[in-house]
Structure 1
Amino acid sequence: MTTYATFHDLKDASVFITGGGSGIGAALTDGFLGQGAKVAFVGRSDASGFVAEMAAKHGAAPLFIPCNITDTAALQSAIGQAAEAHGPITVLVNNAANDKRHSALDVDQEFWDWSTSINLDAYFFACQAVIPGMKAAGGGAIVNFSSISYMMGNAGYIAYTTSNAGITGMTRSLAREFGPDNIRLNALAPGWVLTDKQKELWADPASLAAHLDKQCLKEHLVEQDVVDATLFLASNTSRMMTGQTLAVDGGVVTVAA
């Protein structure tokens, strides 16, 4: 049986995850529940089946709040609901994103605004909503998901990579501003994680082989690799780590640099 690290300080922590009902987000919800945390998450699709599955597995159900994260008022209201149910949020994981492919010359203002509203704006406004509660609670941890795609200078989704770069800059500035309040912010930049969506849309044998050739470690990433890193950044194990970008990519960025 495979066992994973236990981060004892995450037990009973109030955790909020965006996009926590599918893909990597679902794995994150599962991972935090496994640590004994109280988890709330938002998503656009119905997650009642997933909630029931998690309740059966862990003996505690996550709180699912339907929400379109591009609606800032709805997102911040959902964060308020979660804090009411579980106590002040002390761990925020900004995970939800959309990496829809597009050509730079085809992008219009409407598409640009739509993409950045998901991939950057929602991250900031979620941070803004949880910080007062974290200050009152004596501290907290925020993990903002970025991606190695911008570090590699990838083409084919300029609005997404621009947002990824913005996330790391935002993370560093907020870490500086709220460090005196014992609030830590770090960015997590995964490589190509083989979720069901990735397998369905882009993970053909040739692309997988080409990407694996770029990695120092010759295994494809799975959701658990990202969950483990997130739990570390959320816990007091990383108590003196803030304003950083942690790449979990099998060594792609090292090779690309």
Structure 2
Amino acid sequence: MSNPLFDLTGQVALVTGTSRGLGQYFARALANAGADLILTSRKLETLALFEAEMKALGRCVVSLELDVRDEASIRSMAAEAETAFGQIHILVNNAGCNVRKPAVDVTWDDWNLVLDTNLRGSFFVAQSVARGMIHHGYGRIINIGSVTSVAGYAGLGPYTASRGGIRQLTMSLAADWGKHGITVNCLAPGWFKTAQNRVMYEDEGWVEYLVERIPLKRPGQPNDLDGAIVFLASESSRYVTGQTLLVDGGISTGALRATVSQKEKK
């Protein structure tokens, strides 16, 4: 028998950016916990295979077009989602992008692309969905941040600014909407291999450098996030809001050795 604290049966979860990557893992974990789904992408055809997979689990699934950089698209998506299901219980604000460049090479357009997608887009998606949540007196909003929400990395200036902003935005929205029965939290993954960063993981030297700095001695696997996303979406997190939950193998501890290893002594 399923644990009612983690059972999402009868609830509807909207997950943005589900054409690939972690968005699909988030949606799959929520579906496995019982939730019906609203999937989004800028191009509907990119959702067809994943929609079929989720329906095969016995879930009701609706795919909607969404460009988080376009206000009209956000409002249209939110209205269609409510029409389809009547109520959205869970929002996972996952859609995002990145530009990796030395800070001196970042262009005006690079900055706008990343901040408009990751930060402004997340806010206005949350705002549009929260209107219905306020009406129903219930909601779980999960903003997807990153270990860069709490740490800076060279070559990721716009991205770290956007993810740091997500953490602050999460706290602000939690304070704003808590009285309406809505919790707002930030799930912050560490270093996971995704479609966005797969090129980096092809560099064995960089992977070794990374793993040395992760206390659990490996990059994250997508399923490492399943428990966290279900926890934040479920009744079990009813008294948790405004928080950033890091799932990062411990790299946010600083993970720098203060002693010389036996190997180095030799």
For normalisation by structure 1, the TM-score amounts to 0.91
After superposition, what is the alpha-carbon deviation per residue over 1:109-157, rounded to whole angstroms, capped at 9, x for unaligned?
Answer: 2222121111100100011111121112121111101111242310112
| Structure 1 residue corresponding to 2:16, chosen from 18, 22, 36 | 18
74-83 or 101-110, larger mean C-alpha shift? 101-110
- Residue in structure 2 matched with residue 163 of structure 1 by the alignment: 162
Q: Which amino acid aligns with 2:194?
A: T
**Secondary structure of 2:96 counterpart:** coil
User: Are positions 1:55 and 2:55 aligned together?
Assistant: yes
Check the 8 A contact 1:175/1:183 in 2, yes or no.
yes
- Residue in structure 2 matched with residue 140 of structure 1 by the alignment: 139
d(CA) in 2 for partners of 1:60, 1:227: 18
Distance change in 2, residues 1:146/1:70 (3 Å):
same
90-99 or 146-155, larger mean C-alpha shift? 146-155
- Residue in structure 1 matched with residue 262 of structure 2 by the alignment: none
Q: Which amino acid aligns with 1:179?
A: G
- Residue in structure 2 matched with residue 129 of structure 1 by the alignment: 128
The aligned length equals: 252
| Cα shift at 1:14 | 1.5
Identity %: 35
Aligned ranges 1:154-233 → 2 under 5 Å = 154-199=153-198, 201-203=199-201, 204-233=203-232
d(CA) in 2 for partners of 1:99, 1:197: 7
| Cα shift at 1:54 | 2.2
After superposition, what is the alpha-carbon deviation per residue over 1:167-219, rounded to whole angstroms, capped at 9, x for unaligned?
Answer: 011110110111111111011110011235433x1102222221111112123
d(CA) in 2 for partners of 1:180, 1:197: 37
Check the 8 A contact 1:135/1:181 in 2, yes or no.
yes
- Residue in structure 2 matched with residue 37 of structure 1 by the alignment: 35
Larger of the two Rg values belongs to structure? 2
- For structure 1, the 5+ residue unaligned runs are none
Check the 8 A contact 1:188/1:248 in 2, yes or no.
yes
Check the 8 A contact 1:14/1:87 in 2, yes or no.
no
Q: Which amino acid aligns with 1:192?
A: W
d(CA) in 1 for partners of 2:173, 2:159: 21
**What RMSD over aligned residues (CA atoms) do the two structures have, in Å?**
1.9
For normalisation by structure 2, the TM-score amounts to 0.88
Distance change in 2, residues 1:244/1:166 (3 Å):
same
Check the 8 A contact 1:17/1:93 in 2, yes or no.
yes
d(CA) in 1 for partners of 2:4, 2:195: 27
Aligned ranges 1:214-253 → 2 under 5 Å = 214-253=213-252
- For structure 2, the 5+ residue unaligned runs are 257-266
**Secondary structure of 1:10 counterpart:** coil
